Amino acid sequence: IKFNNMKALKTELIRFMMSYKFALEEMNTKIDILKQEFQYIHDYNPIEHVKSRLKSPESILKKSQRKGYVFSLPSIRENIRDIAGIRITCSFISDIYEISNMLQQQKDITLIECKDYIKNPKPNGYQSLHLILQIPIFMSDREDHVYVEIQIRTIAMDFWASLEHKIYYKYNQKVPQRIIDDLKEAANSAAQLDAKMESIQKEMLKIKETSDDEENIHELM
Ligand code: 0O2
């Protein structure tokens, strides 16, 4: 009986993790479709790169203990919503909201939560758009609704976050005040750079539109 229970538990655990793997695959396909179609229609690619990861069972366990959740599969499924995580890096801030809207408009995607750390950056300077989405996964005998966390940010925001993450771990989470201040300053510079790049891009689009209009007029004449 013990063996059977262990076997059943193992099967359940593997199926649990598989549902997140499938959710990542589905979401990655959706993102790839948006990327290819957008490139074709607008001759422009708003997505620089996409990275996805499954939280390891060890990290799931640690997070569950840290947050004081009951350690059961239903509790983990409901409370830990970043087991499947995707990070999308874009060139411009407007691309972030465009991608976020395109995903949210899809009928099989439910928006559960949106944290806009671009409009409201974290006190340390962290910026990104975080979405918790839910998508259905159809399996042989069940339909699971799985949470996926999507982080969408610009290249500058990503550059900042990866350095900040390294520093945080290097100092074992006790970062000296001087470095905290420098990081905040760097986050402000990154935000300024993003704003400048966005305005250059808008300017370029205007020029392109005007020259396209002129070409159209010539063609008509
Ligand atoms: P990993 O390895 O990226 O998964 P919670 O997710 O509930 O524990 P919170 O604060 O409610 O915590 O979630 P939030 O704000 O949506 O942030 C979760 C994730 O965003 C983090 O995941 C990081 O990836 C990223 N993040 C949030 N704040 C910062 C920050 O200040 N600096 C950096 N570099 N990244 C940040 P994990 O679980 O920490 O790690």
pLDDT tens column, 145-198: 999 999 999 999 999 999 999 998 888 778 889 999 999 999 999 999 999 999
Whole-complex ipTM? 0.90
- 214 annotated active-site: no
Q: Is 80 in the pocket of ligand 1 (CB under 6 A)?
A: no
Instruction: Quickly state the pLDDT bin for 4 (edges 50, 70, 90).
Output: low
End-to-end CA distance of the chain: give it in Å, rounded: 86
Kindly tell me the sign of the dihedral angle through the C-alpha atoms of 59, 64, 168, 183.
positive
In the chain, where are the structural domains located? Answer: 2-156
Nearest 5°: phi and psi at 151? Answer: -110, 125
Q: Is 126 in the pocket of ligand 1 (CB under 6 A)?
A: yes
Rounded to two decimals, what is the model's pTM? Answer: 0.90
Separation of alpha carbons 65 and 169, rounded Å: 20
pLDDT for 117-140, tens place per residue? 999 999 999 999 999 999 999 988
CATH T-level topology, domain 2-156: Beta Polymerase; domain 2 (3.30.460)
The H or E element spanning position 147 is strand 143-154
pLDDT for 24-62, tens place per residue? 999 999 999 999 998 888 888 899 999 999 999 889 989
Query: Which of the residues 37, 48, 78, 149 is marked catalytic?
Result: 149
